[in-house]
Structure 1
Amino acid sequence: MTANTHTSAIPPELNLPIEGMSCASCVKRVEKRLQALPGVAGVDVLLSTASARLQLAEGADAAALLQASAATLKQGGYGLRQRAWRLHLAGLSSASCATRVEKTLSQVPGVLHAQVLLASDQAHVQALDTLEPLVLLQAVRQAGYQATLEEGQRTQAQPSAWHSGSGPTLLAAALTLPLALPMLALLWGQHWMLNGWWQLALATPVQFVLGARFYRAGWAALKDRSGNMDLLVALGTSAAYGLSVFELLRQGPHSMALYFESSAVVITLVLLGKWLEARAKRQTLGAIDALKALRPSTARVRRGEQELELPIEALQLGDELIVRPGERIAADAVVLQGCSQVDESMISGESLPVTRGVGEPVVGGAVNGEAVLHLRVTALGAESTLARIVRLVESAQAAKPPIQRVVDRVSAVFVPVVLALALATLLGWGWFDGNWERALIHAVAVLVIACPCALGLATPAAIMVGTGVAAQRGVLIKDASALELARRVQCVAFDKTGTLTEGRPRLAALVAAHNVTPDMALALAAALQAGSDHPLARTVREHAKTHAIALPTPTLTALSTEAGRGVRAQHGTAQVVLGSTRWMQELGVPMQALHAQAEDQRTQGHAVSWLARLSPGEPPQLLALLAFGDTLRPQAAQAIAALHALGVRTVMLSGDHAQAASAVARQLGLDDFRAELLPQDKARIVTELRAQGTVVAMVGDGINDAPALAAADVGMAMGGGTDVAMQSAGITLMRSDPRLVATAIALSRATVRKIHQNLFWAFVYNLLGLPAAALGLLSPVIAGAAMAASSVSVLSNALLLKRQRDR
């Protein structure tokens, strides 16, 4: 359940975990039911995640919609996966307190029912099994009370072997094996048959106990005037079983026209296929599970003079955490004391540990490396970085790309077409040779082989694995549309500052004029920049500090800033100025002596400032020129080369002057660049590129990049950038590494390639299998094995994406 920690806020969407879906036809039925609910603006239902994502209309009541969803799903034979939580409450003093807490919990997105018992200070909550208990605890605290989980509830209960699917499968196999042995004996030329009454005794529990799920789901589909895979299996195996019972009663226990083994083997194979399918699905969700597992269950907290070991749910904003070497950081925080190497590889994809010291942020789930850290908690629960990453990945996996909607339309008519084909097969064979028993077996084969599971899993399985692999490598994909579009990108437009460069100016050169020492010039420039927060001013001061330059005497006074020109100050009887070329020209400062050096610096892409002295009664005197440059990211050239290897054109959009932009473009090997641009100019150029029929991706990191990110086909925000940029982008790069752009495009291409492969084989399987079964070329047993193999093969092919290499 995607939920905010504020209980009063209505989320823009609801993510519902659904149980009971078995094939693509179920997906269409669930979608139709949920779409009909008032307050629902859009629905995406996925078989691979067994979930539905509801987009809420404006003003919709999330709590009421959740209740309505549960009711309509129950009518259709489905349900919501739920879990009960028990909370111990503190601070209740009256029935009104209990009512307030009960109302607060009921408003938490994902809660189906909440009851507070004042006598025992307990709250019993029935909620979706995807709801994090921390959200419940935070809601109670926001209401002014304290809450803790009852003991033994902190970990999600693991399903038993029986409920996970292996139990029914193994039991079905044990009962079916004696029925199948005569079939195997025929391969060695042996002819023997199990007594018919024994066959009935073995096949009946398989058919009606272990196969009861097919009858329940098939009956629910019939009541809903629809069909699904369960209905096909139930009809097919019931026909084979019923024919066998008829022949047993008519001809006795030694009849050769018994097909108990066919019905039992088909049910066993389908159960086996669903079990293998469930295991493969769990692997496709491995990336999300790995992210969720990063958060430790307990944290070491200092409160007052005490150091306590508390469950993660008991943490509060502002708590002081103590993290020892080798321990995981329990929550997003800022360093209060200590300095250590922190491993953030599982979160950002950064392979090397990063140094974090006092005042710097750390991410919950990262591993502390070498020293004790004292931290102040800054974010918890749904607001933490880890939770936001998980939500982004889950959101991408829950969204449907356009290609899947075409498949859903095909699946909607699939079951009725199969039923018609099975009936035609029965009648055709019966009239053709008069052997109605053989005709029924061929019709059963048609029903059994026609499973739309592979069609329903083909697209979402690849998207789940692809987005999961991307997240592990530091690429967060907001939705499936961005994933599908990224593969078609023909041109990548980069912002320069902070994207291809570090975004931190450096003093590239200081050239002193005649009769002035560099140290004297640097001392004057640093003194002029005292107190300024401008990035260039900080650069000059840091450079002077690094070189231990003493401040000039006498001290500079009367510092002032000339907007758009530079700064000036009084130095004794003279004035000292530092500023632009235009200002120097206005002041009459002669710059010819350093003109050649200035042009050389501009050619290298550096911005030039001038330092001069203005003395009463004397002509202005040039003291020095200062050249400022932005360091290229060490990975930038590799990023451009990787994109060229993918056949993608690169262009840089910059607000800097043309010479600086040209120098960067030349060093990196960019195909094109545009300089001296305003934010709206960047968006305009992106729009112009798209108008030429080019699919454009924009990569940026700042607020000024947001319009261009929104204008592009695919927006990619650098992880070190602003929240505005990330919200405008369909893809977020968790590290400030431009090479991740090529990684995102390569993964998109690989994922869509897997989707096409899966759809091809899913359609081919049915196009070949159905006619073969109708023509009598497949037995029900072979059809059942093929049906199970089709779904497993689609999932296995999707899992091969984990081998996709970075560019």
Structure 2
Amino acid sequence: MERVIELEIGGMTCAACANRIEKKLNRMDGVVATVNYATEKARATVPATYSAADLIAVVEKTGYTAAEPTPEPVVATSTRDTLRDRLLISAVLSVPVIVLAMVPAWQFDYWQWLSLTFAAPVVVYGGWPFHRSALVNLRHGAASMDTLVSMGTLAAFLWSLWALFLGDAGMPGMSHPFSLTAREGDSIYLEAAAGVTTFLLAGRYLEARAKRHAGDALRSLLSLGAKHVTILENGAERVIPAADLTPGVLFLVRPGEKVATDGVVEEGSSALDVSLLTGESVPVEVRPGDPVTGATINAGGRLIVRATRVGADTQLAQMARLVEEAQNGKAAVQRLADRISGVFVPVVIALAIGTLGYWIGTGEGTATAFTAAVAVLIIACPCALGLATPTALLVGTGRGAQLGILIRGVEALESTRRVDTVVLDKTGTVTTGRMTVASVVPGASSADELLRLAGAVEVASEHPIGRAIAEAAGRDLPAVSGFRATAGVGVRGTVEGRKIVVAAGAPADADDASTWVSVTADGTVLGWIALADSVRPTSAAAVTALRRLGLTPMLVTGDSPAVAARVAAAVGIAEVEAGVLPAGKVDVVKQLQARGRSVAMVGDGVNDAAALAQSDLGLAMGAGTDVAIQASDLTLVRGDLTAAVDAVRLSRRTLGIIRGNLFWAFAYNVAGLPLAAAGLLNPMIAGAAMAFSSVFVVLNSLRLRGFRSAF
């Protein structure tokens, strides 16, 4: 038996670190692990014989820290403040060193010694995180981006010390011009050592801040739940922590308060603001018997709710879990990038040594050779590669959760690019899934009287048809006695002394697109009522938008051809398959796939689960069943077809950002390394470029925070 273990990883500084931990964990028998550099988490599927402590021990032996996740997200402000302080001190000390090196006219007697005084604390104190990480990696026979940075900055600093104390660079009046390329004849590199350290600290600080913002959406999702709740015990009210709620307990929700957990309304009626959870701005009306979701806000009257699901079983917790799981995924191109970054550092060190030897061998001088080698070490950072996918997933999935769209993983994003056909279930997807009165045909009674008497009997019924008639009849209905319901036949009862029967039946000219019932009083037919599952008001616009995305919509339903044709015509769907049994929906998807189509399936019921699993991309309406949601790739919490449009748009946009990030990261390294090896980059400029590349990738991913619904 297998189980999933999640760990919070500390000490990672680049994608190579995450790749190394992942390799070590996957070498354990039966363990399949992924390590996310952006979220600093590891997720492993392990045999039951392994514990979290076993995995933590492996991570610690690799040179990093690991711990099981805390129940509440902890904001590591002290770590960020330490990094900020280190950056500020380094920046203040580095500016004079860089300015003196870049402006020869300001190079007074012994300026080089002042530069050494300012540069030494930057290289030692400011660069300590890089040096410490390099030492840890060295003890474990490994190398990372910090190894390159530490080697580069220490080489520049130690070369400068040798030149100052043992060479001629310490003589009064020594000066040199600044060059953007590898300079010839210069003997000290203090501005490179201090500047590179400061630039990289700035990049790491900005990266940490940007990554923090990338996870804002998930943190806001996790914080939506109520912290305290008022429960009812023997008629008395008592306030307890929401975490202490148990199923079956009655709790009170006053106007303006959040619903503490998932439950069913026992007393009262109100409108719930669900926008924080689903992105849907229209309040949802609830009354006794209706389900409510935790974290929604009571915008109207007083409600008494019976808790049904608490803690990790609530919809909010499941949403957060789906989002976190999705963020562990990796695109196919990202897996290639991970393999490259895993061998990148040793290759770069070899390239730097080769560059040093080449320039010395060509007679260009040790200064030029040294500058080019240091630039190679510093510019070759795989960080941007490691951040390309996880940061975009972090922002994209978080933004999706805010809009009521749960993306299961990067595989779903890749599927949206290929899909060309979208199969739509009718009931609960294109339609509301709730029966409503479509028309009333009076016989021996007026339409109002017919509906009043039928509603009086049906108010005691739990059948969807009965509820629809009772709703249409309104309130203040006469009392019913002797109520009796016969499954598959109808209901009967006595109203105002008359025996009323509501049963299946239709007039002679009835259309086939509706469900009909007849209403009789003491054996006399009072008339007929037609009921239909109403089309969602937004379905037609959603179908049009799906076409604009290059998708061909198709309606598949178990209803009659007449009903299917009516719904399809109302929303503008040309391809229709009616009278399809649940197993037949799977066959429809398979037939489309056999014809070379890539199929997305949108459904909400148990009968849709198999088709959702068979399709290339499954989208489950969040108001549907748990089994349908588990079989899908995307969950639409809004329960509206417009969410499917936004889901495809967001998925494609996120995948586009991922690809853009990876292109930039690859292009940066492909262009930067040859320039550095050719002696065309000053190490300080290389450091600035390297820091910018990582920040650019994260900032590019943050653009997804501005994604808006098309409706």
In structure 1, the partner of 2:184 is none
Distance 2:517 2:232 in 1: 51
How far residue 264 of structure 1 moved from its aligned partner, in angstroms, is 1.5
For 2:617, which of 714, 720, 724 is the aligned residue? 714
Within a 5 Å distance, the mapping from 1:47-66 to structure 2 comes to 47-57=37-47, 60-61=48-49, 64-66=50-52
AA of the residue aligned to 2:86: P
Asked if 1 retains the 8 angstrom alpha-carbon contact of 2:378 and 2:690, the reply is yes
Distance 2:494 2:164 in 1: 114
Separation (CA, whole Å) in 2 of partners of 1:521 and 1:434: 103
Looking at structure 2, the residues matched to 569 and 305 of structure 1 have their Cα atoms a distance apart, in angstroms, of 35
Q: Which residue of the partner structure matches residue 178 of structure 2?
A: none
Contact 1:566 1:580 in 2 (8 A): no
How far does residue 463 in structure 1 lie from its aligned partner after superposition?
A: 1.3
Q: How far 1:335 sits from its partner (Å)? A: 3.9
Within the candidate set 12, 16, 24, 1:33 is matched to 24
Name the amino acid aligned to 1:159: T
Structure number with higher relative contact order (C-alpha < 8 Å, ≥ 6 residues apart):
2
In 1: Cα distance, 2:431 partner to 2:281 partner: 21
Aligned to 2:62: 76
- Structure 1 residues 202 and 479: alpha-carbon distance in aligned structure 2, compared to 1, 3 A threshold: same
Q: Which residue does the alignment assign to 1:536? A: 465
| Code of the aligned partner of 2:9 | I
- Give the corresponding residue for 2:88: 170
1:241 to 2:149 alignment:
no
CA–CA separation in structure 1 for the residues paired with 2:477 and 2:137: 81
Q: Deviations over 1:405-463 (max 9, x none)?
A: 12112222222221222111101111112411221111000100000001111111111
Q: Which range moves more in the overlay, 761-770 or 414-423?
A: 414-423
Partners of 2:228 and 2:256 lie apart in 1 by: 14
Confirm or deny: 8 A CA contact 2:484 2:491 kept in the other structure. Answer: no
* CA offsets 1:203-255 (integer angstroms, 9 cap, x no match): 33322333222223223333444321011111111211121111112125235
> Cα distance, 1:360 vs. partner?
3.6
Equivalent position of 1:350 in the other structure: 280
Distance 1:670 1:421 in 2: 60
Within 5 Å, give how 1:439-518 maps onto structure 2: 439-512=369-442
Cα RMSD, aligned residues only: 3.3
Q: 1:533 to 1:361 in 2, by over 3 A?
A: closer
- Give unpaired runs (5+ residues) of structure 1: 1-9, 83-127, 134-154, 582-593, 616-620
1:241–1:556 Cα change, 3 Å:
closer
Match of 2:599 in 1: 696
How big is the shift at 1:558?
9.6
Correspondence for 2:77: 159
In structure 2, the CA distance between the partners of 1:217 and 1:559, relative to structure 1 (3 Å rule), is closer
Check 1:282–1:544 CA distance in 2 against 1; reply closer, same or farther (3 A cut). Answer: closer
Q: What residue in structure 1 maps to residue 128 of structure 2? A: 212
Residue matched to 1:112: none
**d(CA) in 2 for partners of 1:560, 1:285:** 55
Select 2:647's aligned residue among 736, 744, 754: 744
1:432-443 aligned within 5 A: 432-443=362-373
- Kindly tell me: are residues 519 and 240 of structure 1, through their superposed partners in 2, closer, same or farther at Cα, counting changes over 3 Å? closer
Q: Deviations over 1:67-122 (max 9, x none)?
A: 12211111111111x5xxxxxxxxxxxxxxxxxxxxxxxxxxxxxxxxxxxxxxxx
CA distance in 2, matches of 1:767, 1:392: 36
Letter in 1 for 2:57: A
Provide the rounded CA distance (Å) in 1 between the counterparts of 2:52 and 2:482: 69
How far 1:697 sits from its partner (Å)? 1.1
- AA aligned to 1:453 is C
- Secondary structure of residue in 1 paired with 2:573: coil
**Whole-angstrom distance in 1 between the partners of 2:445 and 2:297:** 52
SS at 1:12's partner residue?
strand
CA distance in 1, matches of 2:548, 2:646: 12
- Alignment partner of 2:63: what SS? coil
Distance 1:193 1:704, change over 3 A: farther
CA distance in 1, matches of 2:664, 2:404: 31
- When normalised by structure 1's length, the TM-score is 0.79
Residue identity opposite 2:70 in structure 1: L
> 2:696 and 2:328 mapped to 1: Cα distance?
22
Contact kept? 2:80, 2:205, Cα under 8 Å: no
Q: Aligned partners of 2:313 and 2:672: how far apart in 1?
A: 50
Q: Determine if the alignment matches structure 1 residue 12 to structure 2 residue 3.
A: yes
- State whether residues 651 and 672 of structure 1, in contact with CA within 8 Å, keep that contact through their aligned partners in structure 2: yes
Query: Contact conserved, 1:512 with 1:518, CA < 8 A, in 2?
Result: yes
Pairs within 5 Å for 1:127-142 = 128=68, 130-132=69-71
1:74 partner amino acid: E
Deviations 1:307-365 (A, max 9, x none): 55544445455555444443434433444544443322111111133334444443332
Kindly indicate whether residue 46 of structure 2 is the aligned counterpart of residue 46 of structure 1.
no
Of residues 788, 792, 799 in structure 1, which corresponds to 2:691?
788
Q: CA–CA distance in 1 between the matches of 2:611 and 2:348?
A: 49
Whether the aligned pair in 1 keeps the contact of 2:360 and 2:369 (CA below 8 Å) is yes
Number of the residue aligned with 1:680: 583
* 1:382 aligns with one of 303, 307, 312: 312
1:201 is displaced (CA, Å) by 3.5
8 Å contact kept, 1:162–1:168: no
- Among all aligned residue pairs of Structure 1 and Structure 2, give the percentage whose two residues are the same amino acid: 40
* Unaligned segments of structure 2, at least 5 residues: 176-186
The residue number in structure 2 matching 1:179 is 97
In structure 2, C-alpha distance between the alignment counterparts of 1:202 and 1:162, rounded to whole Å:
24
Contact 1:527 / 1:556 at 8 angstroms: preserved in 2? no
Q: How is 1:278-297 mapped onto 2 (pairs within 5 angstroms)?
A: 278-297=208-227
| Match for residue 606 of structure 1 among 514, 528, 537 | 514
Counterparts of 1:309 and 1:568, CA distance in 2: 45
Query: Taking structure 1 as reference, are residues 526 and 382 closer, same or farther at Cα in structure 2, changes over 3 Å only?
Result: closer
Matches of 1:663 and 1:559, distance apart in 2: 30
Q: Which amino acid aligns with 1:132?
A: P
When residues 317 and 704 of structure 1 are mapped into structure 2, their CA distance, relative to the original with a 3 A threshold, is closer
For residues 752-801 of structure 1, what are the alpha-carbon distances to aligned partners after superposition, in whole Å with 9 as ceiling and x for unaligned? 11111111111111111111111111101000000000000111111111
Q: Which of 336, 344, 349 is the equivalent residue of 1:406?
A: 336
Q: Counterparts in 2 of 1:648-663, with a 5 A limit?
A: 648-663=551-566
- Contact 1:300–1:309 under 8 Å retained in 2: yes
Cα distance change on mapping 1:678 and 1:567 into 2, 3 Å = farther
Counterpart-to-counterpart distance in 2, 1:524 and 1:157: 62
**Is 1:367 the counterpart of 2:270 in the alignment?**
no
Question: Does residue 757 of structure 1 match 2:692?
Answer: no
User: Which one of the candidate residues 341, 361, 380 is aligned to 1:431?
Assistant: 361
Equivalents in 2 of 1:521, 1:353: separation in Å? 32
Displacement, 1:172?
1.5
Amino acid at match of 2:29: P
TM-score by length of 2: 0.89
Q: C-alpha distance in 2, partners of 1:370/1:576?
A: 37
- Any idea what SS the aligned residue of 2:103 has? helix
For residues 575 and 215 of structure 1, what CA distance do their matches in structure 2 show? 88
Distance 1:705 1:756, change over 3 A: same
1:735 is matched with 638
CA contact (8 A) 1:323 1:372 kept: yes
Aligned CA distance change for structure 1 residues 665 and 335 (closer, same or farther; 3 Å): closer
Superposed CA offset, 1:682-702 (max 9, x none): 111011112222221111111
Q: Check conservation: 2:420, 2:550, Cα contact below 8 A.
A: yes
Contact 1:522–1:549 (CA<8 Å) still a contact in 2? no
Asked whether the equivalents of residues 323 and 368 of structure 1 are also in contact (C-alpha less than 8 Å), the reply is: yes
* 2:35 partner letter: V
Counterparts of 1:567 and 1:360 in 2: how far apart (Å)? 23
User: 1:191 deviation in Å?
Assistant: 3.6
| Matches of 2:239 and 2:445, distance apart in 1 | 63
> Conserved in 2, the CA contact under 8 Å of 1:489 and 1:745?
no
| Equivalent residue letter for 2:348 | V
